[in-house]
Amino acid sequence: EADDEADIHCDEKLPIDIMYFVMMAENASSVKKNVDIIDRYGKRIIFVLVKKDPDHMRQDNMQADNCKVTAESMFFDHIDIPADSTEYLADVIEKQFEENRLSYASVKPYIEKFAAAENVYDEYTAYKAARYVISKHYENSPPTDCTLKAEDFPNLIIYDKTNLPYCASAQKLIGVKKQLDTVRRQVRCMKYDKMRMNKIRFSPVGTAYNMAFTGPPGTAKTTVARMFADMLAKEGFISAGNFTECRKSDIVGGYVGHTARKCDNLFSDLAEKGGGVLLFDEIYTLSEKDAQTQFDIEAINCIVQNIENYRSSVYCIFAGYEDKMEVFFESNPGMASRIGIRVKFDGYDNSTLCDIFGSFLEQEKYVLSENCDDILYDCFDEMRNRQGCNFGNAREARNLFDNVKRVMAERVDTNAALEDDFTFVFRSDVKKAIDMSIEALCTATLHNDSDGNDEKDIQPEENLHRCGFIL
């Protein structure tokens, strides 16, 4: 067994009758160091077991990059031992309770959640967790009390060991199947490159894994970017949860040198946490010629440089309107050449928007009493005509659903309501919600007109006509 504290020393004479060694090492550096020592004595290592989980393996690889020694490149075969199931860990915990003659029937749900906690992942940690619960029980209860209670269990981070969040979310997401397929292909390509590198010890030459998501607002660009981060976490490319959204204000500083430091820290922080996905939202505002400053130019150059420096740990996505993104990439060829895939998100048609509206109802267990597609189609057409390229797509469907709940809150008498009153949504409820949404758009139109025109030139009656009111 080799580690940094107990290495094989050169002055120790190795037994001459031993030809083969089985080495168990804690990190890649120890493997390399001891392999070199044993090689001097003509011995051979027939197997190496690295006691690391995927997160530690990635950290090990990053720390060993300077000496060109990585754990993955040193082994021909990898065997991943799956984590113990939640059911098995729950049995381990219950066995400890039984051995201590504690009744746990009333806290079964807590045991199952406890066994699914992030820091309970094998038999040993389950045993320690059970002992902790037992100690808490005896600390808070008299010795004669042999029944476990909910307060004996500490609050832990709960997660599903078999499914990451994007799996369920992807099934419910509407209108972006083609875009999700493209993102999945990107992840498969990354996984292929990684496996090929491990098998034949060959590093791919400068593959660009960064992407651009272009399209109108409200078309799930940010949601798909989050799913991409979840996919990478599941495959071991980044640490779970490392997803950061960034706008111009997050990277442009107020004085010389401030911009470079903010941009560098943005990338380095993600890399130090095990890698992550960085979403630049509407970053093309940096290249608008009418308002571009020296700090904006510096920010673009810093982004390009850091994309190159953190190619293997930070994956960037640039999101925004298609035409403005094209202008942005044309203004900086260095940036454009580092975008491997461009994914186009189209605006939703009325049918898709109705499906999205229906999904919001379903998620919160509402039921439409009758079909409302006809008035919903008219509503979305009206919104699209008024807002033009600023039409919010799924956001408008979400806002409409929120208005439905407001209408329901006004209609339902909470003091005398039955269960059905909280469940069924009437056509009249949807119609009133549509009126509220259109009225909100009219208010926004009045506000915009008053900002851009002289009040003497446009009378209030004319503004009302613009908003569709007949006087």
The string of pLDDT tens digits covering residues 325-342 is 888 888 777 888 888 899
- What pLDDT does 164 receive? 37
- Averaged over 390-405, what is the pLDDT? 94
Strands (E) in 129-271, as ranges, are 211-214, 243-246
- Averaged over 238-262, what is the pLDDT? 88
CA distance 234 to 239: 9
Q: Is the pLDDT of residue 71 over 60?
A: no
- What pLDDT does 24 receive? 66
**Average pLDDT along the chain:** 77
Q: Residue 325: which of 315, 335, 316 has the closest Cα?
A: 335
Q: Residue 446: which of 429, 466, 430 has the closest Cα?
A: 466
Going from N- to C-terminal start, the domains of the chain cover 1-82, 86-152, 165-344, 350-466
Residue percentage of the chain with pLDDT more than 70:
70
Contact 207, 193 (CB under 8 A): yes
Contact 266, 309 (CB under 8 A): no
165-344 fold: Rossmann fold (3.40.50)
Q: Is the pLDDT of residue 348 over 90?
A: yes
- Averaged over 422-439, what is the pLDDT? 93
Query: Is the entire prediction scored with pTM above 0.85?
Result: no
Q: Is 112 exposed, middle or buried (0-12, 13-18, 19+ CB in 10 A)?
A: middle
The string of pLDDT tens digits covering residues 179-194 is 999 999 999 998 888 8
Residue percentage of the chain with pLDDT more than 90:
30
- What pLDDT does 10 receive? 44
Q: Is the pLDDT of residue 464 over 50?
A: no
- What pLDDT does 208 receive? 78
Most confident of 61-65, 117-121, 282-286, 441-445: 282-286
- Averaged over 245-271, what is the pLDDT? 89
- What pLDDT does 354 receive? 94
Lowest-pLDDT range of 82-86, 99-103, 372-376: 82-86
Q: In Å, how far are 48, 62, 195, 248, 311 from 271, measured between CA atoms?
A: 28, 9, 21, 21, 10
- What pLDDT does 161 receive? 34
Q: Is the pLDDT of residue 78 over 70?
A: no
Residue 41 binned pLDDT confidence (cut-offs 50, 70, 90): low
CA distance 295 to 253: 7
- What pLDDT does 432 receive? 96
Q: Is the pLDDT of residue 206 over 70?
A: no
The string of pLDDT tens digits covering residues 273-297 is 889 999 999 888 888 777 778 888 8
Residue 467 binned pLDDT confidence (cut-offs 50, 70, 90): very low
Q: Is the pLDDT of residue 155 over 60?
A: no
